[in-house]
Structure 1
Amino acid sequence: MTDEPLLAGVELGGTKVFVLRARGRNILDRVALPTTGPDETLAAAAALLADWQRDQRFAALGIASFGPIRVDPAAPDFGLMLPTPKPGWTGADVAGALSRDMDCPVALDTDVNGAALAEWRWGAGAAGTSDCLCYITIGTGLGGGFVMHGQPLHGAMHPELGHILVRRAPGDTFAGACPFHRDCIEGLIAGPSLAARFGMAGDLIPNEDPRWDDVAHDLAQLIGTILLTTAARQVLIGGGIGMGRPQLLPKVHALLVDQLAGYLSFVTPQTVAQIVRPPALGDQAGPLGAVALALRALEQA
């Protein structure tokens, strides 16, 4: 293990930040910090990295951040947070604040692209069977990342699955809670949206509440859109809501098969649970995403 490179990672989430150091995929230290304002949050994470680096220089740094964020290194606003529903974070210089004093290769991507890369490298795609893998997290927000042929998906920016509009369940009158689009998928089933929909904090919502059927319908709509547009071999559902509600996925499986109506021959009642499933790395997919990005930065240096 001592021959493995010493890596630094930051997983910047909407409610907390994990600052990591690792050798290869083995996490040596992990410190959780609250996500408050950008200046305070990023300064605390950068100070911890600097303190660790005084002990031993890092070979690379991986930053896996919530978005939307500019991930194109050639763009003049590289590393800056784009307009976001999270108050105070629009324009925050995430890459600059975290990498300014780091004398090593740096990779920045979304937290979900990072998690998808970790799953492709060490988790659900490690057997080499996933040329297209999608990772979705459902928590404070809803985000989705892709790895295609071993590369995180980028274009004009990064995927923004949370703001896709889906066909609503018949009879569902919930208006949605996204400040940009109201009833996009994030506005329907992310944590704050569930609190508004159910009228109570998410952890208090009983599994037996029939309104979960509408949530499952909406999630199945999103997954169907992903399968139809990308032909993904696997769609992994992570995050506190994605993994914390075990009754949800079986509902989604049945609804997805029904909604697709046989059009995608590879999605059947017998195969759907292997296609749409929890991440193989569980709740470690996010932190290991930052490590996977650091390894990618080192490999491309």
Structure 2
Amino acid sequence: MTKLYGSLEAGGTKFVCAVGDENLTLVEKTQFPTTTPYETLDKVIEFFSRFDQLAGLAVGSFGPIDIDKNSPTYGYITNTPKEHWSNVDVVGILRKALNLPIYFTTDVNSSAYGEVVARKQRGDRLENLVYYTIGTGIGAGVIQRDQFIGGVGHPEMGHYYVAKHPMDVEKEFNGVCPFHNGCLEGLAAGPSLEARTGTRGELIEHHSNVWDIQAYYIAQAAVQATVTFRPDVIVFGGGVMAQEHMLKRVREKFASLLKGYLPVPDLEDYIVTPAVAGNGSATLGNFVLAKNVSQPATR
């Protein structure tokens, strides 16, 4: 009997459920808005309950989340600004309903893992990868030698403090993060564009200098990843980086900030957008993580 593997991308805006086969080929996929916890999780359970051959499920969730298996709140979304979702036992609810082994991690970790899988499938030689999503929020996943970085918790690299752009200093703009003044997420995530300009990011002209401000902060994230992890590649996903002109801007800012201090690959190979089309990195990563967790030795 062919086994199937489940992927849940639990995002603050939408949930994406998918099922794949032994070859990691997509069988079925659906998505729906993130509303209240029980309404949303009921839809998740309804979708996955239809697949009798489902052997495992991987959940990549918005956070912060508790990934410490020795913690009494393992599997919970914890102190999130997402209304109604603080202290929700995601893994407990799904495990009780579906009776499946579940791998629980962050949404960006799932994407990072999928990027490693995809790049190895096409023949790339890499051991270390950093994946940032630059969208409504900012998060990062780090993989070194096929292992996630993290101790009692997962990285929260979207909340690094960064040097403010001179224009933000002049206008006393401290960002939109409800927790920190001057962190990466508050200054470079999608909502910061509208906060500065009064216009949604997708409607802002490409020649606007606000994109150079964004690139300045995103390049700082790349510098931080470079000096901390020395990765083979840094992948930037998310809606802000879907703007075609942004990658060039970030590479240029990165070069001017790093100033040749460390050797890095050619920037066209080093600072890139996802290898998996259609925002599919997390789904692919989750299929592999679900397959792994379904093996008795890895539970």
Q: Same fold (TM over 0.5)?
A: yes
**What is the TM-score of this pair, normalised by structure 1?**
0.92
Say which SS state the counterpart of residue 280 (structure 2) adopts.
Answer: helix
Task: Show the counterpart of 1:275.
Answer: 270
Mapped pair 1:192 → 2:191 = yes
**Cα distance, 1:127 vs structure 2:** 3.0
Mean CA deviation greater in 231-240 or 197-206: 197-206
Matches within 5 A, 1:1-301: 3=2, 5-24=3-22, 25-50=24-49, 52-53=50-51, 56-123=52-119, 127=123, 129-172=125-168, 173=171, 174-242=173-241, 244-266=242-264, 271-282=266-277, 283-299=279-295, 300-301=298-299
Say which SS state the counterpart of residue 100 (structure 1) adopts.
Answer: helix
Give the distance between the partners of 2:95 and 2:15, measured in 1 at CA.
Answer: 15
Give the distance between the partners of 2:165 and 2:61, measured in 1 at CA.
Answer: 32
Q: CA RMSD in A?
A: 1.7
Mean CA deviation greater in 244-253 or 91-100: 91-100
Give the distance between the partners of 1:107 and 1:128, measured in 2 at CA.
Answer: 26
**What is the TM-score of this pair, normalised by structure 2?**
0.92
User: Contact (CA 8 Å) 1:114, 1:292: kept in 2 or not?
Assistant: no
**Offset from partner CA, 1:239-275 (integer Å, 9 cap, x none):** 1222x211111011011011011101225xxx01211
Name the amino acid aligned to 1:118: G
Name the amino acid aligned to 2:21: R
**Offset from partner CA, 1:2-27 (integer Å, 9 cap, x none):** 75x31111111111111111103111
Name the amino acid aligned to 1:106: I
Structure 1 unaligned blocks of 5 or more: none
Give the distance between the partners of 1:213 and 1:148, measured in 2 at CA.
Answer: 31
User: Contact (CA 8 Å) 1:135, 1:145: kept in 2 or not?
Assistant: yes
Say which SS state the counterpart of residue 29 (structure 1) adopts.
Answer: strand
**Cα distance, 1:298 vs structure 2:** 2.3
Give the distance between the partners of 2:182 and 2:261, measured in 1 at CA.
Answer: 26
User: Contact (CA 8 Å) 1:71, 1:158: kept in 2 or not?
Assistant: yes
Structure 2 unaligned blocks of 5 or more: none
Give the fraction of aligned pairs with identical amino acids, expressed as a percent: 34
User: Contact (CA 8 Å) 2:264, 2:270: kept in 1 or not?
Assistant: no
Say which SS state the counterpart of residue 123 (structure 1) adopts.
Answer: helix
Mean CA deviation greater in 284-293 or 183-192: 284-293
Name the amino acid aligned to 2:288: A
Give the distance between the partners of 1:149 and 1:46, measured in 2 at CA.
Answer: 33
Give the distance between the partners of 1:43 and 1:101, measured in 2 at CA.
Answer: 9
- Number of residue pairs aligned between Structure 1 and Structure 2: 292
Give the distance between the partners of 2:283 and 2:239, measured in 1 at CA.
Answer: 14
**Offset from partner CA, 1:58-113 (integer Å, 9 cap, x none):** 11111111111011222110011121121221111111222222233210100110
